[in-house]
Amino acid sequence: MNIKTTIALDTTFKKEVFEGLTAYPKYLSSKYIYDKKGDKLFQDIMALPEYYLTNCEFEILSIHTKEIAAHFGNVKGGYDLIELGAGDAKKTKVLLKLLSETETDFIYKPIDISQNAIDSLSKKLSKELPKVNVEAEKGEYFEVLERLKTFKSRKKAIMILGSNIGNLLHPRAIDFLTKLKETMNSNDMLFIGFDQKKNPQTILNAYNDETGVTEAFNKNLLTRINTEMAANFNLKNFKHWEVYDPETGTAKSFLVATKAQKVHINALDLEINFDQWETIHTEISQKYDDKTVAWLAGEAGLEIITDFTDSKAYYKNYLFKKK
- Per domain, the residue ranges of the chain are 12-36+214-286, 52-196+291-322
Tell me phi and psi for residue 317, to 5 degrees: -110, 125
Average pLDDT score over residue span 136-165:
83
Residue 261, Cβ density class (10 Å: 0-12 exposed, 13-18 middle, ≥19 buried)? middle
**Taking residues 101-126, what's their average pLDDT?**
91
Place 88 in a pLDDT band, splitting at 50, 70 and 90: confident
Candidates 3.20.20.70, 3.40.50.1100, 3.40.50.300, 3.40.50.150; CATH matching 52-196+291-322: 3.40.50.150
Partnered with residue 265 across adjacent β-strands are 231, 270
- Cβ-Cβ contacts under 8 Å for 16 (sequence gap 6 or more): 28, 29, 32
The dihedral through the CA atoms of 317, 318, 319, 320 has a sign that is: negative
Strands, DSSP E only, in the chain?
A: 26-27, 79-84, 106-112, 133-134, 137-138, 155-160, 189-195, 238-245, 250-257, 261-265, 270-274, 279-286, 302-309, 315-322
User: Which amino acid, one-letter code, is at 140?
Assistant: E
DSSP H or E segment with residue 166: none
pLDDT at 106 over 60: yes
Mean pLDDT score, 252-277? 97
Give how far the C-alpha of residue 84 lies from the chain's centroid of Cα atoms, to the nearest Å. Answer: 8
How long a stretch of residues is the chain?
323
Q: Given this model, what pLDDT does residue 2 score?
A: 47
Give me the mean pLDDT over the 182-194 stretch: 94
